[in-house]
Amino acid sequence: MSKSLDRLTLLQTFVRIADAGSISAAARDLGLSQPSVSRQLAELESRFNAQLMQRTTHDLSLTPVGAELLADARRLLDSWEALEEKHLETEDALRGKLKVVAPIALGQLYLADTAFQFQKQHPLLSLSWQLEDRNIRFAEVGCDCWIKIGSVPDESLTIEPLGQVERLMVAAPELLEVYHQPKSPGDLEIWPCVALEPFEGGRIPLSKSSGKTIVVSPSVRLVTNNIFALHRAVLAGLGIAVLPRWFIEEDLNHGRLIDLLPQWRAPKLPIHVASLSKSYQPRRLQSFLEILRTEIPNLPGVEPPVGMNPS
């Protein structure tokens, strides 16, 4: 076995330990003994003359050097895999592992079907479909792409806009019996509000297509970081809320929620997909990204990114 392959093997083992969270779990995944995996980690630490992981009785965590090496190792292994695909693959079938992190609601209600159909079309793929609204550390999570509503706080990634989310101010019909139909955003100041963190707070800008913007400050009755909880609170009549059209289209069609100010909208939120540089993207990821570019702008209440013409 060549030294270069030895190095790749050590890096693969290191990444597997980080993903599995323990040496014993990584050993089971790799089909190796725990002492063998421990020796490989020790050899890698010896080569870099640094401690890469801190081990305790119940926990294992990356050191700062280990976290940096993990990001570099993922890039190197992805690049090696892309090189293998380019020079060795002789068939069209996509294979390997594809790990995707997506927003909880969007990933559950819409994008899951897209991802599962993609996996069904490419049965040699192994798909990991993870739902998460919080910011992630891309290198530590070890995903291939991260679908994110809002900004992506990692400039080291390739970040591509996929769409813009239309958002509107809505309420349950029963609230209209108490507060009456608003004629302008200023009328909402007396209404109770339920807010979704981190996008809304006590000050909500509403704009018309003409560009006119009015900031309203309704009384916030409830704050949550979960859009499903927010949705239930609005349906229960706890207050008005800003919600994306893709999430409430059926509620609007069936009269369960009312678009309070059809001429006014909250700021649009972008949908991004983040991944490593294109030079590190295996063909299975490139194919999946093509699907996302087609599917996401076609969701209800989602417009194409700025500068992209609708199909």
Spans of all domains in the chain = 3-88, 96-163+269-303, 165-268
Cα gap 39→298, rounded to integer Å:
51
The amino acid at residue 25 is: A
H or E element: which one contains 274? strand 266-275
Residues near 79 by beta carbon (within 8 Å), at least 6 away in sequence: 279, 280
Cβ atoms of 171 and 257 within 8 Å: the answer is yes
Cα–Cα nearest to 47, from 2, 78, 8, 1: 8
What is the four-CA torsion angle of 77, 82, 87, 93, rounded to 10 degrees? 120
Q: What does the pLDDT average to over 17-39?
A: 83
What is the mean predicted confidence (pLDDT) over 24-45? 85
Q: How far is residue 243's CA from residue 257's CA, in Å, rounded to a whole number? A: 11
Q: Does the pLDDT value for residue 39 go beyond 80?
A: yes
The DSSP code sequence of 121-135 is HSTTEEEEEEE--S-
Answer whether the bond into residue 198 is a cis peptide, omega within 30°.
Answer: yes
Task: Write the class of the CATH domain 96-163+269-303.
Answer: alpha beta
pLDDT tier at 311, thresholds 50, 70, 90: very low
* Percent residues over pLDDT 70 in the chain: 91
Q: Which residues 6+ apart lie within 8 Å of 230 measured at CB?
A: 194, 195, 196, 224, 241, 243
Smallest CA-to-CA distance from 23 within 9, 38, 40 is with: 38
pLDDT higher for 125 or 172?
172
Distance CA 260, CA 191 (A): 12
d(CA 219, CA 177): 18
- What is the pLDDT, as a whole number, of residue 182? 93
> For residues 248 and 235, is the Cβ–Cβ distance under 8 A?
no
Once rounded to an integer, what is the mean pLDDT over residues 106-125?
94
The pLDDT tens digits for 82-102 are 666 666 555 567 888 899 999
User: For 287-297, b where at least 16 C-beta lie within 10 A, e where not — what string?
Assistant: bbbeebbebbb
pLDDT tens track for 195-209: 998 777 778 999 998
- Would you say 264 and 140 are in contact if contact means Cβ atoms under 8 Å apart? no
Distance CA 60, CA 23 (A): 8
What confidence score (pLDDT) does residue 310 get?
47
Q: Which residue has the higher pLDDT, 59 or 123?
A: 123
Mean pLDDT of the chain: 87
Cβ pair 305, 161 in contact under 8 A: yes
Q: Could you tell me the pLDDT band of residue 38, with boundaries at 50, 70 and 90?
A: confident
Q: In the CATH hierarchy, which top-level class contains the domain 165-268?
A: alpha beta
Range 3-88 classified under CATH 1.10.10.10: yes
- Intrachain domains 3-88 and 96-163+269-303 with the same fold: no
